[in-house]
Structure 1
Amino acid sequence: MENQKSNSSLKAIIIVLSILLVGSLAYMYKMSTDSEKTEKTLVSEKEGLLNDLKAAKANYDAAIAENTGLSEELIAERAKIESLIAEVKKSKGDVKALQRYKDDYRRLKRDMDNLIAENNKLKQENGTLTTQRDSTMTALGETKRYNDTLMSQNENLSRTVEKAAKVQVLNLKTQSFKEKSSGKLVSTEKARRVDVLKISFTLAANEVAKAGNKTYYIQVIDSKNNVVGEKKTEVFGEYTLTYSFITNAIYEGKTMEVSETIAGKDFAKGLYTVNVFDKDQLVGNTTFTLK
């Protein structure tokens, strides 16, 4: 009887322990399953929060690109969003931390909504001002074009008058001579015999041109590219002119002849160039050859 009681007690204990083991296993399974669900939920919520933060940053990027008067404020608030994104990415995803990040995001989103609304208002106002400015600029542009047209016409008229007032140099020619002891000039083209060059030209009649003294710079260049004569230099602004001699003429608006001579020796053979300048303006040129 005592053995039977002992066996019955042992069986009861085994049954109780089995029930407890099954219960423990069921509880552990449930806890494991709940933990996995919780982890998946936290991961999902973390990803959702990151997506919301990235969307907020994109909104700030777009608003900053519009370059309104709130650029500094928008940049500062975007920096806060970027900082929160970095924190959320580094977080382990526990419930308490995630809730705090959500609260931070909601606070930052309220600030963002207010700033974006203000930015949109400024953008609208800027658009209105731009339209008004464009209308003003269009009107000013039309006025400027009208003034430019008048100025262009005046400049063209001035150039026409200036051009008409220029005295033309015509019939520029050069003669080479051998001067006899008697002073008589004998024409020759042989370089070794030449000791006088005579340069002459005609000033055409021009009633529009200003009467008075006319100064011309004569430049004679030999076949070796040397300037013949006085070889003096005159500076006109950025232009430097080396000339052979200067000739002056008292011009009275009528046709007149101008003639000058250059004495020299050892003239080179070859082609010579003669240029006539009115200050720095070339007004006539010709060539001749010494054999």
Structure 2
Amino acid sequence: MVAIVALLATNVYFYVKYKNTGDQVYELTGEKVNMQAEIDRIEAEMDRLTNENVEINAALKASQDSVQSAIASLRHQLEQNNLTREQLTEAQQEINQLKLQVSQYKEEIEQLKNQNARLTSERDELKREISSSSERVAELEDLNTDLTDKVKVASALKISDIVVNGVKERNSDKENVETRARRTDKLKITFTIADNPLAERGMHDVYLRVIDPNGNLRTADYGLFEVNGNQIQYTYKT
């Protein structure tokens, strides 16, 4: 009778022990599955942040590498069988720390994106200002060129009262006005230069061009003068 009671007690003991052990294993397995799911979510978030196409600095790159290394380490730990409560607790602490690290990394990425957006906006605004300034400079240069041309035209000497006479030379050094071309030895040209306060002060050369009835320039020395960048022959310079 005593032996039967002892056997029953032993069976009850082992039943309770194995039941508790089974419950504990089931509980630990559930925690491990939940941790693996958390790691999956963390890795997915890191992949999303990595695909933001933001140029990161060395510090952020180091943080990114650290997170990826921690994820790989945790996955390896959770792949082990028969993990103890202490090991799972330690793994959960590492996951919590990893969450914090990813959260900080996310904040830094957002700050970097905002900074990049601000710099892009400032760059575009600066480009618009430079473009506007360039256009204004071009307008002022055109205006200055136009004014310079107008001043140049306005400052030109104006000639009026032009009189051309054929002259016949006499032995007595006297000159008689001739109306017939065949009896003319030379031409006497007189003109008046109008006063122009815009003209440059000083001596000025006056170039004369005499064209014959056939449209040919009458010239002896083939001298040239420049007008608006063009070389033009003249008959006489005074």
TM category (shorter chain) comes to 0.3 to 0.5
More helix by share: 2
More strand by share: 1
What TM-score do you get using the length of structure 1 for normalisation? 0.40
